[in-house]
Amino acid sequence: MKVIEIKNVTFTYRGNNEPSLLNINFEVEKGEFILLTGPSGCGKSTLCRLFNGLIPHFYGGKLEGEVIVLDMNVKDTPTYELARHVGMVFQDPENQLFLSNVEKEIAFGLENLGLPRREIQRRVKEVIEYMGLENIKDKAPYELSGGQQQKVAIASVLAMQPEILVLDEPTANLDPYSSLDLLNIVTRLNKELKMTVIIVEHKLEMLLDKVSRLMLMNKGRIVLDKAPQEAVLNSKIKIVGVPKIIEVYEQLKGTGYDLGKPPLSPEDFVNTIRKMVDTHG
Amino acid sequence: MDSIFEGFKFKKKNTIIHNLDPRAKSVYLVMSFISALLFTEPIPLIIIFLTSLPLVFIAKTFREWSRSMKSLSFFIAFIFILNLISMTENRLNYAFSMVFRFLALTSAFSVFFLTTTPDDFMSALEKIGLPKEYTLMFTMSMRFVPTLARDLQIIVDAQKSRGLELEKGSLIRKVKNYVPILIPLIIYEIRRSIMIAEALEARAFGALKQTTSYTELKMKFKDYIFIIIIIIFFGTLIFLKIFNLMPVWMTIKLPEIF
Amino acid sequence: MVETVVEVENLYYSYNSHPVLRGINLEIRRGEIVAIMGENGAGKTTLIKHFNGLLKPKKGLVKVFGVDTRKVSVAELSRKVGLVFQNPDHQLFAETVEKEVEFALRNFGFKEEVIKRRVEWALNLMGLTKYRNRSPFTLSIGERKRLAIASVLSYDPELIIFDEPTAGQDFLQKERIAELLNLLRTQGKTVIIVTHDVEFVATRFERVIVMSQGRIIGDGSFRKILSNLEILKKARLLPPQIVKCAWLLSDIGIPRDIIYPEELVEKLEKILRR
């Protein structure tokens, strides 16, 4: 089932001469977990904002082509309507936590949608349990660590039960442990709740073994759109760098060893090596 | 300077006053306010001031309240002297009354804000019809105060690290030195507000004219009792004043020494 | 001229009666390139703020270039210590890029000809010459970051500290930062970076200091520190991928302190050839 269809989209921000998105074409099926990456300024954040209508409604500018999300034409659908189905989590946790405590924050989106109080209470409780936020539910945003704040941001969006979740560099301000923790939660949402997830990130090493598809952008265009194991072998990936284990894999391949498909994690790599050692020895 | 604000910042405690519905407390505040403005005689004003004291004690907020009151002593002295010089007759009496009016007002506000969270205050306003945008604006401003303070500190640190010396120089120099502080701050917060606006949109803000509410304010028995007591007490005072029925001892004036 | 640039003796610091630094002892010599790593909240930023006097010790001593930081102002220390903050938007304010880079030079009282020369050099170094008359706020985030660096390098401090220089940066931007650090090294500068980017630090920083909960729990070469899983775990740092592979394969003869991909390739080839 197609959840997103982007056809011949070109977009120029108001006041800019050059388009930020050029001739974008792709489709997303339900349940995919997509990593969207590329160098600074390539248009990945701009692309994200098409999915919930921030472009064109919040940012203005010239949008050419078709953007269809869950059979809704984004150009004709206001953001608050799309927000029911497309949840978005941004980079800076501070700017997406508006209220004085966690519980109220999670309820906020549901209040905006006009859900009855009982339903809001039920969903808030459910989400707090699912995300393990019981012991921080009364805390104010400034009392939380960056990782906790981002979890609350995700929870607030999750409560609205969107079919699609979009995350724009959610781990940019987090330390490694918190980053991995957050990405594991996002993976859970994709696997357990069957959410379609699109995540913009630079931290390839933490995501390659989790996503089903890698889209690489450069200068406003999509230059690579493949499954992770194919994507890392494509020369275009060099503009964002490959994880070190891929470097090792390629060097060994160059010497003549057949390691099969490229490893997406150290564990993956180690398994391949062990198999080779066993067959050799 | 900071200690003035201590008496107006919410502190979480479990007392009857803290647990009263904010609307009930608002009734107290409004009645105190009206009464304090109505009277110019010292005795009733002292009485109005004294009514806040039992509330301060029940709410266990004496320390914060007294710190605020003490640090306002400058204003109190100022009010006293100003009124002493500017009035023509009954100077001492009037100056004295004004001091107690000031005390009565600030004390009532102090009790209110020490025992009511900004959120509850906003919920109360919403219940009486204030549109959600305004309450959200207020709640968000309060929530971002620590964030702004932190940004300001970072900016000051960053510019000091580039050799900016804020204490040195003439008055003009000192004012100019604030440009490298204010400009990054303003621009940073403008950028921040755009990101906040985006996030609000993404959370379906503005989808409906009438939103529902997660928290509900329910008036309980004790709230009604409190309101009734307040209305009887202050109502009586106001009644006495309006219909000129004040007993003699209430109208005692201080002698004309000056 | 071997000199101790930073000397920290038994440093304690608290914020709002909450202890942030608990007995730091540290010496950094001229020309060293050091990475200070640890989880968010370990005290790294608090520590480096003592190096230019923004913070003064609660207990203990901090000497920078031989001077007790409590005895001088931030402005005086900043003359020799450059601190590049993480977010450039916390400091950009001038009408033009050029004036932004001049700011520190003017504050320190440099002569006009020197200012012009230094600004030229700094703009050139960071690739910003073509933007010199533009408003800083019209630059992209990457360019603004370079501008913040240029405005610190312009007055040529001897100790340069970067707070999380690679946060949010893409691959090419990180490469450029690495090149810059190399350049500073060849100029004999002393460089400290605060970061939790293990992959960036691996192979590039000869000295790595790890902090956790206000204390230094590790101080040594990148090889020694980044292959020590215990220290990394305490500081909530993930090991570099190569180190992880090495540990997982240690039972088949791979040494645990491998950091470079080439080293792993070499060892694996030896084993697979058997």
Q: What is the pLDDT of residues C159-206, one digit of tens each?
A: 999 999 998 899 999 999 999 999 999 999 999 999 989 999 998 898
Closest approach of chain B CAs to the CA of C196, in angstroms? 20
Closest partner residue to C85 (CB to CB) among B158, B163, B179 is: B158
Lowest model confidence (mean pLDDT) among B75-79, B209-213, B236-240: B209-213
Residue that wins the pLDDT comparison between B9 and B221: B221
Contact A168, A90 (CB under 8 A): yes
Long-range contacts of A255-262 (CB under 8 A, 24+ apart): A255/C265, A255/C269, A257/C269, A257/C272, A261/A229, A262/A229, A262/A232, A262/A233
Q: Quick check: B199 pLDDT over 70?
A: yes
Given a cut of 90, whether residue B212 has pLDDT beyond it is no
Structure tokens at C163: 């707070």
Find where tokens 């998105």 sit.
Answer: A21
pLDDT along chain C (274 residues), means of 10: 87 91 96 94 94 94 95 94 95 95 94 95 95 94 94 96 92 94 95 94 92 96 94 94 94 91 92 81
Tokens of A42: 């390539």
Instruction: Using the predicted structure, report yes or no on whether residue B6 has a pLDDT greater than 90.
Output: no
For residue B2, what pLDDT is reported?
Answer: 66
Q: How far apart are CA B136 and CA B132, in angstroms?
A: 6
Where exactly are the structural domains of chain C? 1-80+157-237, 91-156, 240-274
Return the number of other C-beta atoms located less than 10 Å from residue B10's C-beta. Answer: 19
* C239, amino acid identity: P
User: CB-CB: which of B142, B147, B204 is closest to A113?
Assistant: B204
Rounded Cα distance between B152 and C15, Å, is 17
Q: Quick one: DSSP state of residue B9?
A: S
Shortest distance, CA B120 to any CA of chain A (angstroms): 11
In words, the CATH class of domain C1-80+157-237 is alpha beta
Q: Which residues of B145-178 are buried (b: 16+ CB within 10 A; e: fewer)?
A: eebeeebbebbbbbbbbbbbbeeeeeeeeeeebe
- Say how far apart CA C8 and CA A182 lie, in whole Å: 36
Tell me the C-alpha distance between A78 and B52, whole Å: 51
What does the pLDDT average to over A221-247? Answer: 95
ipTM, 2 decimals? 0.92
B207 shares contact with chain A (CB less than 8 Å): yes
pLDDT score, position A166: 98
Q: In what order do the strands lie in the sheet with C33-38?
A: C81-84, C159-163, C190-195, C33-38, C207-212, C215-220
B166 touches chain C (CB under 8 A): no
Nearest by CB to A113, from B192, B202, B207: name it. B207
Q: Which residues, listed in sequence order, are joined to residue A224 by a DSSP beta bridge?
A: A216
Reduced to 3 states (helix: H, G, I; strand: E, B; else coil), residue B246 is coil
Alpha carbon C248 to its chain centroid, in Å, reads 31
- Chain A residues interacting with chain C (CB cutoff of 8 angstroms): 38-41, 91, 145-146, 169, 172-178, 180, 202, 205, 239-241, 243-245, 247-248, 251-252, 255, 257, 266-267, 269-270, 273-274, 276-277, 280-281
**Dihedral, A254, A256, A260, A262 alpha carbons, nearest 10:** -20
Q: Do B198 and A142 touch (CB under 8 A)?
A: no
Residue of B nearest to A165 (CA): B202
CB B212 within 8 A of CB A111: yes
**Of the candidates A129, A125, A171, the residue with the CA atom closest to the CA atom of residue A146:** A171
Distance in Å, alpha carbon of B172 to nearest chain A alpha carbon: 36
Measured between beta carbons, the chain B residues lying within 8 angstroms of A102 are none
Contacting chains of A (3 CB pairs or more, <8 Å) are: B, C
Alpha carbon distance A142, A100 (integer Å): 9
What's the one-letter identity of residue C26? Answer: L
Domains and CATH numbers, chain A: 2-237 (3.40.50.300), 243-281 (no CATH)
H/E stretch holding B249: none
Mean pLDDT value of segment B46-66: 91
* Cross-chain Cβ contact C199/A244 below 8 Å: yes
Chain-chain contact of B157 with C73 (C-beta, under 8 angstroms): no
Smallest CA–CA separation between B187 and chain C, in Å?
8
Whether residue B165 and residue C107 make contact (CB cut-off 8 A), yes or no, is yes
Helix locations, chain A, DSSP H: 44-51, 79-82, 102-112, 117-131, 146-158, 176-192, 204-207, 228-231, 244-255, 266-280
- Compute CA distances A50 → A37, A57, A74, A81, C117, whole Å: 16, 9, 8, 14, 46
- Scanning the structure block, which residue is given the tokens 């190096």? C51
What average pLDDT score do residues B121-129 get? Answer: 83
Closest residue in chain C to residue B154, using alpha carbons only? C90
Three-point CA angle B204, B208, B212, nearest 5°: 90
pLDDT value of position B258:
59
Residues of chain B positioned with their CB less than 8 A from the CB of C92: 184, 187
Question: Buried b vs exposed e over C247-267: b needs ≥16 C-beta within 10 Å?
Answer: bbbeeeebeebbbbbebbbeb
C119 — contact with chain B (CB < 8 Å)? no
Give me the total of CB pairs closer than 8 Å, taking one residue from chain B and one from chain C.
63
Pairing of strands C190-195, A2-12: unpaired
Nearest CB partner across the interface for C90, out of B154, B163, B165: B154
CB contact under 8 Å between C104 and B162, yes or no, is yes
CB contact under 8 A, A243 and C274: no
Helix (H) / strand (E) containing B252: none
Q: What is the mean pLDDT of chain A?
A: 94
Query: Phi and psi for C68 in degrees, rounded to 5?
Result: -70, 120
Question: How many other C-beta atoms can be found within 10 angstroms of the C-beta atom of residue C273?
Answer: 9
pLDDT of residue B179: 92
**Rounded Cα–Cα distance for residues A183 and A210 (Å):** 9
Interchain pair A83, B202: CB under 8 A:
yes
- Residue C211: per-residue pLDDT: 96
Q: Chains that contact B by 3+ CB pairs under 8 Å? A: A, C
Cβ atoms within 10 A of the Cβ of A178, count? 22
Closest CA to B20 of B93, B144, B124, B108: B124
The predicted pLDDT at position B11 comes to 80
Query: Is the distance from CB of B112 to CB of B105 less than 8 angstroms?
Result: no
Query: With an 8 Å Cβ cutoff, is A107 touching chain B?
Result: yes
pLDDT tier at B1, thresholds 50, 70, 90: low
CB B6 within 8 A of CB B68: yes
Nearest-angstrom CA–CA distance, A195 and B43: 70
Structure tokens at A16: 């800019």
In degrees rounded to 5, what are phi and psi of residue C18? -105, 120
Chain B residues touching residue C83 (CB < 8 angstroms) = 158, 161
Mean residue pLDDT across chain B = 88
A161 touches chain B (CB under 8 A): no
Phi and psi angles of residue A203, each rounded to the nearest 5 degrees, phi first: -80, 75
The half-sphere exposure of A44 on its side-chain side, counting CA atoms within 13 A, is 28
List chain A residues with CB under 8 Å of C169.
40, 202
Buried b (16+ CB within 10 A) or exposed e, C87-108: bbbbbbbbeebbbbbbbbbebe
**For testing the chain C interface, which of A13, A16, A20, A40 should be mutated: the one with the most C CBs within 10 Å?**
A40
Name the minimum distance, in Å, from the CA of A256 to any CA of chain C: 10
Looking at residue A9, what is its pLDDT?
A: 97
Contact list, A96 vs chain B (CB under 8 Å)? 195-196, 199, 202-203
Half-sphere exposure of C61 (CA within 13 A, CB side): 7
CA atoms within 13 A on the CB side of B83: 20
SS3 category, A67: strand
Contact partners for chain C, using 3 or more CB pairs closer than 8 A, are A, B
Tokens read off for B102: 């000031």
The pTM of this model reads: 0.88
A-chain CB neighbours of C238 within 8 Å are: 176-177, 180
Tokens of residue C88, six digits: 């450039």
Cβ separation A252–C265 shorter than 8 A: yes
pLDDT at site C203:
85
Residue-wise pLDDT for A55-98, tens only, equals 999 999 999 999 999 999 999 999 999 999 999 999 999 999 99
For chain B, what is the largest distance between any 2 Cα atoms, rounded to a whole number of angstroms?
A: 70
Residue with tokens 């997509």: A34
Which of A14, A95, A103, A106 to substitute to test the interface with B, most B CBs within 10 Å? Answer: A95
DSSP, collapsed to helix, strand or coil, labels residue A77 as coil
B160 touches chain C (CB under 8 A): yes
Whether omega for the bond prior to residue A39 falls within 30 degrees of 0, making it cis, is no
Instruction: Concatenate the DSSP letters of all residues of C125-143 into one string.
Output: HTT-GGGTTS-GGGS-HHH
C74/B161 touch (CB, cutoff 8 Å), yes or no: yes
Number of CB pairs, chain A paired with chain C, less than 8 A apart: 98
Confirm if A59 and A45 have CB atoms less than 8 A apart.
Answer: no
Rounded to an integer, what distance in angstroms lies between the CA atom of residue B169 and that of residue B175? 10
> In sequence order, what DSSP letters do the residues of A126-158 get, joined into one string?
HHHHHHT-GGGTT--GGGS-HHHHHHHHHHHHH
Beta bridge partners of A21: A11
Q: Taking Cα atoms as reference points, which of C162, C196, C218, C167 lies closest to residue C39?
A: C196
Q: With CB atoms and an 8 Å threshold, state whether C274 touches A251.
A: no
Instruction: Sort strands C33-38 and C190-195 into parallel, antiparallel or unpaired.
Output: parallel
Residue A281 confidence (pLDDT): 56
C52 and chain B in contact, CB less than 8 A: yes
